[in-house]
Structure 1
């Protein structure tokens, strides 16, 4: 995510592992390795040393969504901009954007997710979507694997930028319910291909 410009000094990725999660520590993601990963119980009442302070949002999503097996937390600038002008949700304007959900909800609270209570509220706003814009605080995406969660973060950045551009151009024409359903049904292999592309060092 660092190479893609989705995080700077802050950002983390996690994966569900039975009743625990593995999460990158509170360091630059480029320095995170398998040996630095932290393991935290999903019902933790406190975070271990060196855990990201916002690990609470990962825990809250896993507790609320048994179908989610990975979470990415990033700060794309486009999410800051879209969250500042959209009050409720961002509809998909292109097929790949539908892989984020029927719409991307916007959580109207710019505070850091540094408590279980604040994180649980954000998880409720996420609902059954696969992406969430945190007004003034970046974004969260989910997936069946860390690669899918990161691919969705890239798609969220694209979706936010397209939405902002379309608002400036005129009336927005969002995808229909049938189009969204069709794209979501096709999502798993497409996310695999996108992740394989994004993780290549040359980006080609």
Structure 2
């Protein structure tokens, strides 16, 4: 794997942590071949540096490689089901966890929320995803979407690049915050129309890089 790509993934992982989207747990992966990913090791994302070794993660085989996070099954299942997926982020965004615990659907109440689906799919099992069968269930529920909530266990975002996947995780958390605040007022929130959602979704590729640049700037400040 080129050093530039490794550094890119490590930087993305640090940004996830600095944005408050993970705590002690979380991992990112990048596709390096049609049947192989590189994944961050099971360490706090903020602690990763340019010297941190990534773990090669083949998409085949009955066991995970030594050094891989025990939930790397998620990355394998999604990457196998989605050949176009170039990067996957697994994080622990707190407002998303609260939204899932509420039992309310996470729906697009602002433009960027339309990047995530309506509603964002939920894997309705709080247990860790530590086997192929559970991971394949997550991939099926995700389908062709860009995000999935793991009730009681964080969330996953999927994109062509690590930068896009990180930006989507930030959007997911922001959308959950807006949903929680809107529901707290007591009135039924106004959900974007199908036409509005389509308009915003068409602009995701344009806007996600700008969100990532914002997160980079916030980290440097």
Provide TM-score, normalisation by structure 1. 0.94
2:99 paired residue among 78, 82, 101: 82
Kept in 1: contact 2:93–2:154 (CA 8 A): yes
The residue number in structure 2 matching 1:100 is: 116
3-state SS, counterpart of residue 121 of structure 2: strand
Kept in 1: contact 2:126–2:150 (CA 8 A): yes
Say whether 1:56 aligns with 2:73. yes
Distance 2:145 2:93 in 1: 18
The residue number in structure 2 matching 1:32 is: 48
Q: For 1:112-127, list aligned pairs within 5 A.
A: 112-127=128-143
Unmatched tracts of structure 1, length 5 or more: none
3-state SS, counterpart of residue 90 of structure 2: strand
Unmatched tracts of structure 2, length 5 or more: 1-15
Kept in 2: contact 1:102–1:129 (CA 8 A): no
Cα RMSD for the two superposed structures: 1.5
Distance 1:33 1:51 in 2: 17
> Are the structure 2 counterparts of residues 163 and 203 from structure 1 closer, same or farther at C-alpha, using a change threshold of 3 Å?
farther
Distance 1:158 1:116 in 2: 30
Q: CA deviation at 1:201?
A: 5.1
Instruction: Kindly provide the CA deviation profile for residues 1-40 of structure 1, in whole angstroms up to 9, marking residues without a partner as x.
Output: 1111111111001011221001101112123245511111
Distance 1:166 1:64 in 2: 35
Q: CA deviation at 1:166?
A: 1.2
The residue number in structure 2 matching 1:189 is: 206
Kept in 2: contact 1:12–1:73 (CA 8 A): yes
Distance 1:45 1:144 in 2: 26
Which of structure 1's runs of 4+ aligned residues deviate more than 3 A? 201-204
Q: CA deviation at 1:101?
A: 2.5
Q: CA deviation at 1:200?
A: 2.4
3-state SS, counterpart of residue 57 of structure 2: strand
In the alignment of these two chains, the number of paired residues is: 203
The residue number in structure 2 matching 1:16 is: 31
Kept in 2: contact 1:103–1:129 (CA 8 A): no
